[in-house]
Amino acid sequence: MTRSLLPNFFAGRWQTGAGEGTPLFDPVLGTELARVSSAGLDLAEGFAFARTQGGAALRALSYAQRAQLLSQIAEVLQTHRDAYFDIATANSGTVAKDSGVDIDGAIFTLGYYAKQGAALGEAKLILDGQRIRMAKDPVFQTQHIQVPTQGVALFINAFNFPSWGLWEKAAPALLSGVPVIIKPATATAWLTQRMVQDVVNAGILPVGALSVICGSSAGLMDALQPFDVVSFTGSAETAKIIRNHRAVSELSVRCNIEADSLNSALLAPNATAESEAFTLLVNEVCREMTVKSGQKCTAIRRIFVPRAVYSAAAAAIAAKLAKTTVGNPRNASVRMGALVSQEQKASVLAGLAQLKTEATVLYDGQAAGFLDADAASCCVAPVLLGTEQPMTAHVLHAVEVFGPVATLMPYDSVADAYAMIRRGDGSLVCSVYSEDPAFTAQASIELASSHGRVHAISPDVAALHSGHGNVMPMSLHGGPGRAGGGEELGGLRALNFYHRRSAVQGSAVALDALATQGVALPL
């Protein structure tokens, strides 16, 4: 049976795309769930509507008033939370715990920005730094300010976070006073569409402040104008298309890219197999490999341990992975669900075959079979690979397998470990496991230039830490080089992307008047 098309909310009204649409599937059962189409939408009309109607209405509000809207959105999402978990089970194939990372992570992030925004009060612009005297007479001064950009924020998102991926971007955009148009990845668009539908139906936001387009991305980049911004999350290949689009290269549309990443975990050189640092690394590696079946941009892909503990690490990780039951997320005994689609399964298996040209299999959960899911489903068991010669490897430092796969590598000197970690060409996150604060500090400095985040774990934070792959709104998300060069979150730093900085040069009296409408960010 052909399911109905999910309606798009665009130009202030619900609009169904033309044609048969593209089907969305249950990755475990293979059944069709819904269809999406953006064919026939008048993109110029919808973008103009968001810019003029949504943008003007949002900018008329203060930061505190917009923060209140975020709070209301979080409440609405909380009300419909059960329905979102059902959609995630059906469309993403995730167990409840993993769906929670996406759904509860979104609600938490909205709540965080609601609170941060409330503290900015009734201001409508940001005072950026101190006033600086520009002449001998102090009457002529300059004050940098940041004001919301008078355009739209177009979000083009990846399939793995249909909920959090929307709201971690939308929270700072809406708080800044910038209207949002979200284009979710087709494979999992249902959850994004449903959340937008609930928020629109609740009548929280000014009309035009939030739009959703499900289906093809064709024409979206062409609709952008100079004061718009685009925030993309997805593969390096699509990122290249976005970067090279005329909107970015000629119109200077501000562009944020979150792309793929070969994230690492590093065990300190003096750690033994009996040390707490060793256990912390093993636990985190197993968690990272299996949460969302490894479909997290931040997941650990490469594990660096001192050569003396290589075999012990392989055995400990394998023993823990063996406890991970894989299969249908509806079965309460299942700990890890499916990959999101047949395309992703094919991509993971192809990537795994590539990695195997340079690594041996240390553990493969395939032999244990799947619970309530057959081999034709999108389930893939965790696989730990290893090589004893990582310095001469190429593929292992270059290919991101977006699934439950990681490679263990021994190092002979810390310098070698840093050099191999850097061969990821810029990553989102590296975690360091150490009981020596001096080493942790030195490693953090060494790794900071090639990572958006260094997750430094020692026994005193063992029970508290937020996890290698968990993106928290108060910390930066993004990374240099291959990771896309983007920056998201990081508390109120996220507002920078949606504001324009300008230096106002004028009399101290005029700057006094300006200051009454502004607030300095408490960074």
Give contact residues for ligand NAP (rule: CB under 6 A).
156-160, 183, 185-186, 217, 221, 233-235, 238, 241, 258-261, 297, 400, 402, 428, 483-484
Q: Which is nearer to ligand NAP, 58 or 212 (CB)?
A: 212
User: Two tokens at 431?
Assistant: 């975690």
Q: How far is the CB of 193 from ligand NAP (least distance, A)?
A: 13
Secondary element (H or E) of residue 87:
helix 81-92
Residue of 252, 283, 209, 272 lying closest to 61 (CA atoms): 209
CB 477 within 8 A of CB 485: no
For ligand NAP, which residue has the nearest CB?
Answer: 234
Q: How far is the CB of 54 from ligand NAP (least distance, A)?
A: 21
250 is catalytic: no
Q: Which is nearer to ligand NAP, 150 or 217 (CB)?
A: 217
CB proximity list for 217: less than 8 A, separation 6 or greater: 156, 183
Residue type, 259: A
Secondary element (H or E) of residue 257:
strand 254-258
Q: Which is nearer to ligand NAP, 192 or 275 (CB)?
A: 192
CB atoms within 10 A of CB 392: 8
Bridge pairing between strands 499-507 and 427-433: unpaired
CB 158 within 8 A of CB 184: no
Q: Cα separation of 224 and 43, whole Å?
A: 10
Q: How far is the CB of 32 from ligand NAP (least distance, A)?
A: 17
Q: Which is nearer to ligand NAP, 258 or 288 (CB)?
A: 258
Residue of 294, 297, 230, 295 lying closest to 260 (CA atoms): 297
CB 161 within 8 A of CB 102: yes
Q: Cα separation of 175 and 68, whole Å?
A: 9
Residue type, 373: A
| DSSP-assigned letter for residue 188 | G
Q: How far is the CB of 42 from ligand NAP (least distance, A)?
A: 18
Q: Which is nearer to ligand NAP, 160 or 440 (CB)?
A: 160
Q: Cα separation of 363 and 219, whole Å?
A: 45
CB atoms within 10 A of CB 186: 21
Q: Cα separation of 362 and 408, whole Å?
A: 9
Q: Which is nearer to ligand NAP, 224 or 443 (CB)?
A: 224
284 is catalytic: no
CB 425 within 8 A of CB 454: no
Q: How far is the CB of 172 from ligand NAP (least distance, A)?
A: 15
Burial bucket for residue 157 (CB in 10 Å: 0-12, 13-18, 19+): buried
Among 258, 288, 358, 400, the one annotated catalytic? 258
Beta bridge partners, 504, equal 143
Among 297, 378, 379, 430, the one annotated catalytic? 297
Helices (H) and strands (E) in the chain, counts: 15, 22
Residue in the structure block whose two tokens are 């399911």 = 3
CA quadruple 184, 190, 195, 199: dihedral sign? positive
Q: Cα separation of 260 and 405, whole Å?
A: 15
Q: Which is nearer to ligand NAP, 216 or 442 (CB)?
A: 216
Q: Which is nearer to ligand NAP, 410 or 486 (CB)?
A: 486
Helix (H, G, I), strand (E, B) or coil at 301: strand
Q: Cα separation of 149 and 518, whole Å?
A: 16
Q: How far is the CB of 401 from ligand NAP (least distance, A)?
A: 10
Q: Which is nearer to ligand NAP, 54 or 294 (CB)?
A: 294
Q: Cα separation of 485 and 491, whole Å?
A: 18
Residue type, 433: Y
Q: Which is nearer to ligand NAP, 177 or 403 (CB)?
A: 403
Residue type, 431: S
- Which sequence positions are flagged as catalytic? 258, 297
